[in-house]
């Protein structure tokens, strides 16, 4: 690239940089500041040093929230990526009906959380819910989000997130699959590779960059999960300590208890944890992600 033209980069990047400074970094600086303050919104923030973190770290609620978040991620991420790969492979068969399927699978992604939570609260209800009614024909029954077992509750909610998110992940995966040049696959055909071998030996490695990207994005999504937990488990009276997630705790601190500093500290704790996971992942990237 000619050096002379590098100054054009300023033209292209200035609006975006302004946007980041104003809409990301400016609010972020305040949030960092509040994390070290006692701030109840009525009075100006007062510097308290590490007091907010000192309160969060020994609190069992904090770690239960991360435990739930972790359990949520462990069920949500692998299942979603796995399903997205299956559906994308199926869609990639040059079907005439591809448009129809694509609409159907993307529908949940277009649905607002308010509506999703309303529908699933009814679907999951142990007493009236149609899911339990259906299961009753097989002599099965689950309490879903009313269960006393936190893991059942968390997986019930991660199922909703999978339902909502798998469509868009399928589309991304499909885009990656369509980018695999047909030469490579034809070459494999000539070599006489079977469909399964073809998938694992040839397609899979070429898909790893997309899988890696989806993985990183899903972690952010899983840790940030809020709407379903807050609406479906709390209903306004606070989410049980056993079932809470970081997003909900942070909301409670900031908007219910009006301890903005504590809420900010919680979100930076989350930031640190996700940051560490991301760094580990990026380090492992070269071991399994293949770029052409």
Partner 1 sequence: MKKALCLILAALMLFAVTGCNNNTASEGTVKLGMPSGGSVTPQEIIDGFVAEYGNKYNIEIDDTPWGEFQTKLNLGIASGTAPALYLMDSGYVADAGYAGANEDLKPLIDRDLNVDDFVSAIFSGTDANGHIWGVPHAMNAAVIFYNKDLFDKKGIEYPKADWTFDDMIEKAKALTYDEDGDGEKDFYGLQWEKNISVGWLPLMLSYGLEPVSADFTKAQIDTPEVKKAWDTLIEWGEGGLEITPRRDFAGLYPDWWQEKVAMQIQQVSFINTLEQNAPDLNYDVQVIPAGPGGDQNCVYVPNMWAIYGRSDQTSKDAAWDFIKYYYSEESQDICAKYNKGGFPIRKSVYEKMGETKPANIKGIIQGIDDRGHTLCEGPGWSEWRTIIDKAFKDYVSLTPTKPREQILTETQNDVQTVLDEANAKKVQ
Partner 2 sequence: MNRRTKNLIKELIKKTISTLLLAAGCILMILPFMWAISSSLVGRGQSFTYPPQFFAAPYYWSNYATAMNELNFAVYIKNSFILTGIACIAEPLASAFAAFGLSRYDNKMVRIVTGVVLALMVIPVAGSRVPSYVMWKNMGLLDTYIPILAPYFLGTVFYVYLMRQNFKSLPGDFYEAALIDGCNPVYIFLRIYLPLAKATLAVVVLGTFSHEWNDMMGPLIYITSKSKYNLAIGLLYAKGNYTHRQEVLMASSVIMMAPSIIIYAFLQKYFVQGLASAGVKG
**Selected range binding partner 2 among 53-61, 92-100, 147-155, 196-204, rule: CB under 8 A:** 92-100
Q: Whole-number minimum distance, CB 224 to partner 1, in Å?
A: 18
Q: Could you give the count of Cα atoms lying within 13 Å of 237 in the half-sphere of its Cβ? A: 1
In the chain, what is the greatest distance between 2 CA atoms, to the nearest angstrom?
74
**Selected range binding partner 2 among 56-64, 70-78, 81-89, 141-149, rule: CB under 8 A:** 81-89
For residues 49 and 236, which CB has a smaller minimum distance to partner 2 in the complex? 236
Q: Whole-number minimum distance, CB 29 to partner 1, in Å?
A: 16
Residue 89 binds what, of partner 2, partner 1, none (CB under 5 to 8 Å, by partner type)?
partner 2
The answer to whether 150 and 242 are in contact (CB under 8 A) is yes
For residues 257 and 288, which CB has a smaller minimum distance to partner 1 in the complex? 257
For residues 152 and 217, which CB has a smaller minimum distance to partner 2 in the complex? 217
The reply on whether position 214 binds partner 2 by CB under 8 A is: no
Sign of CA dihedral 109, 114, 115, 119: positive
Q: Whole-number minimum distance, CB 155 to partner 2, in Å?
A: 16
Q: Whole-number minimum distance, CB 239 to partner 2, in Å?
A: 19
222 to each of 76, 195, 256, how far by Cα in Å? 7, 33, 23
Sign of CA dihedral 184, 185, 191, 195: positive
Binding residues for partner 1 (CB under 8 A): 40-43, 121-122, 125-128, 145-146, 148, 235-238, 240-242, 252, 254-260
The reply on whether position 78 binds partner 2 by CB under 8 A is: no
The reply on whether position 118 binds partner 2 by CB under 8 A is: yes
Report angle CA 268, 109, 242 to the nearest 5 degrees. 45
Q: From CA 117, how far away is CA 115, in angstroms rounded? A: 5
For residues 43 and 97, which CB has a smaller minimum distance to partner 2 in the complex? 97
Residue 40 dihedral angles phi and psi, to the nearest 5°: -105, 15
- Cα end-to-end span (Å), the chain: 22
Q: From CA 120, how far away is CA 125, in angstroms rounded? A: 8
Any idea what DSSP says for residue 179?
A: T
Residue 283 binds what, of partner 1, partner 2, none (CB under 5 to 8 Å, by partner type)?
none
In the window 123-152, what residues touch partner 2 (CB under 8 A)?
A: 123, 127-130, 133
Residue 241 binds what, of partner 2, partner 1, none (CB under 5 to 8 Å, by partner type)?
partner 1
Contact letters (x/-) for partner 2, 223-242, by CB under 8 A?
Answer: xx------------------
The reply on whether position 256 binds partner 2 by CB under 8 A is: no
7 to each of 11, 13, 50, how far by Cα in Å? 8, 10, 43
The reply on whether position 122 binds partner 2 by CB under 8 A is: yes
Residue 236 dihedral angles phi and psi, to the nearest 5°: 95, -15
């Amino acid at each position: 690239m000619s050096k002379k033209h590098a100054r054009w980069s300023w033209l292209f990047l200035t609006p975006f940089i302004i946007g980041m400074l104003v809409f990301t970094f400016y609010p972020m600086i305040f949030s960092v500041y509040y994390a070290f303050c006692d701030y109840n919104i009525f009075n100006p923030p007062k510097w308290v040093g590490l007091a907010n973190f000192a309160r969060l770290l020994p609190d069992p609620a904090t770690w239960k929230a991360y435990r739930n978040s972790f359990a949520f991620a462990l069920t949500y991420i692998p299942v979603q990526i796995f399903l997205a790969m299956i559906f994308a492979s199926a869609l990639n068969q040059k079907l005439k009906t591809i448009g129809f399927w694509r609409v159907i699978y993307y529908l949940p992604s277009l649905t607002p959380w308010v509506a999703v939570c309303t529908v699933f609260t009814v679907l999951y209800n142990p007493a009236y819910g149609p899911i339990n009614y259906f299961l009753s024909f097989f002599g099965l029954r689950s309490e879903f989000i009313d269960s006393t077992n936190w893991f059942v509750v968390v997986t019930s909610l991660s199922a909703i997130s999978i339902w909502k998110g798998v469509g868009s992940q399928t589309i991304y995966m499909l885009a990656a699959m369509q980018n695999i040049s047909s030469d490579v696959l034809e070459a494999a055909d000539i070599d006489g590779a079977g469909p399964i071998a073809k998938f694992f030996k040839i397609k899979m490695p070429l898909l790893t960059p997309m899988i890696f990207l989806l993985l990183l994005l899903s972690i952010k999504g899983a840790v940030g999960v809020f709407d379903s937990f807050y609406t479906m488990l709390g209903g306004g009276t606070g989410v049980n300590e056993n079932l809470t997630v970081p997003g909900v705790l942070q909301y409670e601190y900031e908007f219910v208890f009006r301890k903005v500093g504590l809420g900010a500290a919680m979100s930076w704790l989350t930031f640190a944890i996700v940051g560490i996971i991301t760094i580990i992942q990026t380090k492992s990237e070269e071991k399994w992600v293949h770029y052409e």
